[in-house]
Structure 1
Amino acid sequence: MDEALLRSLTPSVLTVLVRRGADFAAAEDAVQDALVEALRVWAVGPSPSSRLRSSRGDPIRDAKGWLVTVAWRKFLDATRADTARRRREDRVEEEPAPGPAPAVDDTLQLYFLCAHPSLTPASAVALTLRAVGGLTTRQIAEAYLVPEATMAQRISRAKRTVSGVRFDRPGDVATVLRVLYLVFNEGYSGDVDLAAEAIRLTRQLAAAVDHPEVAGLLALMLLHHARRAARTASDGSLVPLAEQDRGRWDTGLIAEGVGLLQAALARDRLGEFQAQAAIAALHADAPTAEETDWVQIVEWYDELTRLTDSPVVRLNRAVAVGEADGPRAGLTALAELDPSLPRHTAVAAYLHERDGDLATAARLYAEAAHKAPNLAERDHLTRQAARLNAR
């Protein structure tokens, strides 16, 4: 079976059905049924071209057309079988004759639909992975470490929410980018690499829309992903950025990310993802941690603060100030922020250690470990506390 081809065709097949008059929820169900049928039929033959067979056993060259035809039949069958939807059945066109699928690609509108403002962020992410990414409910549930039934209910509610939304309304690129960034930040769990999936979907979006922030987000993802192999030790423990083996960073991804960023910045329409990517590029450009241009990083954090006024950005800026101007300056910047912010205590511990106050740093590392959102970060902070206490 060619699962990658199936996933790449999923959004365009879904949008064809919606354009023909199917509501989103019913169309998405029909497409999923067609994918199941494709997995069964495509398993025949040694190559993708020979896997596609009609009911008569003839090879089928147009994979998208085949999926559209099967999905439309599934939709008609479901509509006719549902007595509560007889009125809609009267409006459904007769089944189109088999042939090449339309060249129109509404994938971009599908992105906007799945990131509709009426959806919660969690629902928008799940629906995007299902409708645009082509993942199964089981795969999404495993990635988010929730029961499949729970994820099925979440996706079902999201589909009902957007079923009445028309495709002719303008979409918000910023909302789509935030959803994709949420997907990327989930990283890896189960048999689906969500970071890689987010990059794939963002590449797809970048091919469909010419927007500097789309390029900025893709650059940011690539620059972060380039460091992935160096982020954990052989025992699974976290490796801080300053201690990572930079020889393990993916230079190809870094070069691609920097190229995308430079082209986006040249358009002089700065956005938050471009600013974040610029910070990531400065880290990637430094041969060693000691050679990092922290002064310029602080300047980019100032730009990012102006764009977002985010407390999390200000927290990261405090770290950068501590590196550029010394730990006392970093602690002064940190004192202006709410101590309940995530990672605030860990940042305070780090800056106090840099300032030579090891007892306070050890106590704060231990306190931060209790607040850590995951086991890997908790273990890392616990080891930091133990290291200082041993000294």
Structure 2
Amino acid sequence: MDERYGVVAETIRIEGTRILATLIRTVGDVQLAEDAVQEAALAALGAWPVTGVPPEPRAWLTVTARRKAIDIIRRERARGTKERDGADLLELSRPEPELDPVSALEPEDVVEDDLLRLIFTCCHPSLSPPTRVALALRTLCGLSPAQIAGVLLTTEVATTKRLVRARQKIAAARIPYRVPAEAELPERLPAVCAVIHSLYTAGHAPAEGEAAYDVDLCAEAIRLAELLHSLLPDQPTPTAVLALLLLTQARQAARVDDAGEVVTLDQQDRSLWDQDLIARGVALLNDSLERSARQADAYQLQAAIAAEHARVPSYPATDWREIVRLYDLLVEVSPSPAAELARIVAIAETGEVDRALVMLDAIPPSSRRHAVRAELLARRSQYAEAVHELDQALAEAPADHPERAHRQRRRALFHARTADNQQGP
């Protein structure tokens, strides 16, 4: 029984976005689609533990969600609380034999088109940038309003209101659910690329949970990046995004050990790195740079940094001065605390630890900044101060943060060295 509940939850987690995208295409209403998918999930939780998981669970959920949407529309009509022109009901009622649970699933390219339409809808220029991000995180990542509030540094109430307003605006303005015409792409493409990159980041470095990365979320982001690149193969930015994701993904197998513990870059077994992904990522990066006349944007610079790490056989062979140069450009092109912190780490690796410590003072406090300061202080044998910084890092990070065990091990090491220093020779 418990195993079947787990299958339902896992299916909804993996396939929920695709089912939602398909239903939004059909009905053109994000809120209605979300409500229908949620009711379909509840129906599965009630039925599958008794009848067993169907051979094609996504098809079952999709058909059930369509039927739930019809029920919702009819209930609203009966109550007279919402006006509809009947088009939604007609569209939903149209037979779709390819979605019959007994038959095969709908062609994968249709599903991919649905997801791409969903991204472009979230990134419509009439929506404010924070709203685009909130809507994308909700529909693409399935994050709750509380989780989105944490990402956007706002409240759950404000996030919920923002999502409601976004859905209302999409419906009222009849924002088309489609890939826009070529003339419309330039103003939307940066936001679409940012959403796909954010989706991968959410999987590569989860803010919550014990896992060091989310395999399914990373794979979904790469798949969408591939789709966007195939749609716009001559555009340098989507090409650079795909290059960055592949070069980052190439190191995934070496990021955790057999016990699931985080392995830092300097300790990773580079024989586990995927050389095919690295080769393709470098080729895409070079192609992107040629198409932009070698005027690099933020994604190209990040990909170049990843390529610089990937091309050397060992950590000591890393050309840190070149990486600092690339980070200097990145901070200039797209300044952010994360980019600045990474640049400081690279500067320290060139031997300028004192300069790096001074530069850390300009970075907003965070768990990550405390952890970096601890490592730099330890290089100056200031182990007591390093322990204090790691205490701060552990206090500010979630209890189940994937790097928590690594930081606790480093704290124990620095604490032991503090005791050694106090004992003297």
TM-score, normalised via structure 2 length = 0.66
What is residue 321 of structure 1 aligned with on the other side?
A: 347
Tell me how far apart the structure 1 counterparts of residues 372 and 303 of structure 2 sit (CA, whole Å): 21
User: What is the CA-CA distance between 1:216 and the residue it aligns to?
Assistant: 2.8
Identity across matched positions, percent:
29
Specify every segment of 5 or more residues in structure 2 that has no aligned partner in the other structure, as ranges: 1-6, 99-105
Tell me how far apart the structure 2 counterparts of residues 353 and 124 of structure 1 sit (CA, whole Å): 41
User: What is the CA-CA distance between 1:233 and the residue it aligns to?
Assistant: 4.0
1:1-391 to structure 2, matched below 5 A, reads 3=11, 8-18=18-28, 23-33=29-39, 48=56, 70=67, 73-85=70-82, 87-88=83-84, 94=90, 97-99=94-96, 105-114=113-122, 116=127, 117-119=129-131, 121=133, 124-130=136-142, 158-165=163-170, 166-168=174-176, 172-180=188-196, 181=198, 182-184=201-203, 185-186=205-206, 189=209, 194=214, 196-208=216-228, 209-210=231-232, 211-268=235-292, 270-324=296-350, 326-327=351-352, 330-336=353-359, 337-338=361-362, 340-342=364-366, 343-354=368-379, 357-359=380-382, 361-372=383-394, 373=397, 374=401, 375-376=404-405, 378-389=407-418, 390=420
User: What is the CA-CA distance between 1:306 and the residue it aligns to?
Assistant: 1.7
Q: Alpha carbons of 1:25 and 1:340: their partners in 2 closer, same or farther (altered >3 Å)?
A: closer
Tell me how far apart the structure 2 counterparts of residues 94 and 192 of structure 1 sit (CA, whole Å): 46
Deviations 1:82-133 (A, max 9, x none): 4211x32567564554247896945334214445535385664133223xxx
User: What is the CA-CA distance between 1:278 and the residue it aligns to?
Assistant: 1.5
Residue 25 of structure 1 aligns to which amino acid in structure 2?
Q
Query: Which SS does the other structure have where 1:388 is aligned?
Result: helix
Tell me how far apart the structure 2 counterparts of residues 255 and 188 of structure 1 sit (CA, whole Å): 32
Q: Alpha carbons of 1:119 and 1:321: their partners in 2 closer, same or farther (altered >3 Å)?
A: same
Do the aligned partners of 1:199 and 1:222 also contact (CA within 8 Å) in 2?
no
Q: Alpha carbons of 1:218 and 1:377: their partners in 2 closer, same or farther (altered >3 Å)?
A: farther
Do the aligned partners of 1:349 and 1:362 also contact (CA within 8 Å) in 2?
no
Do the aligned partners of 1:112 and 1:172 also contact (CA within 8 Å) in 2?
yes
Tell me how far apart the structure 1 counterparts of residues 274 and 59 of structure 2 sit (CA, whole Å): 37
Specify every segment of 5 or more residues in structure 1 that has no aligned partner in the other structure, as ranges: 54-62
Residue 12 of structure 1 aligns to which amino acid in structure 2?
T
Deviations 1:241-280 (A, max 9, x none): 1122222333344344334333323322522122112212
Do the aligned partners of 1:227 and 1:248 also contact (CA within 8 Å) in 2?
yes
Tell me how far apart the structure 1 counterparts of residues 297 and 130 of structure 2 sit (CA, whole Å): 24
Q: Name whichever of 166-175 and 212-221 sits farther off.
A: 166-175
What is residue 56 of structure 1 aligned with on the other side?
A: none
Query: Which SS does the other structure have where 2:305 is aligned?
Result: helix
RMSD: 4.4
Q: Alpha carbons of 1:143 and 1:388: their partners in 2 closer, same or farther (altered >3 Å)?
A: farther
Tell me how far apart the structure 2 counterparts of residues 187 and 287 of structure 1 sit (CA, whole Å): 30
Q: Alpha carbons of 1:197 and 1:74: their partners in 2 closer, same or farther (altered >3 Å)?
A: farther
Residue 129 of structure 1 aligns to which amino acid in structure 2?
C
TM-score, normalised via structure 1 length = 0.71
Tell me how far apart the structure 1 counterparts of residues 212 and 56 of structure 2 sit (CA, whole Å): 23
What is residue 57 of structure 1 aligned with on the other side?
A: none
Query: Which SS does the other structure have where 1:358 is aligned?
Result: coil
Residue 231 of structure 1 aligns to which amino acid in structure 2?
R
Residue 247 of structure 1 aligns to which amino acid in structure 2?
S
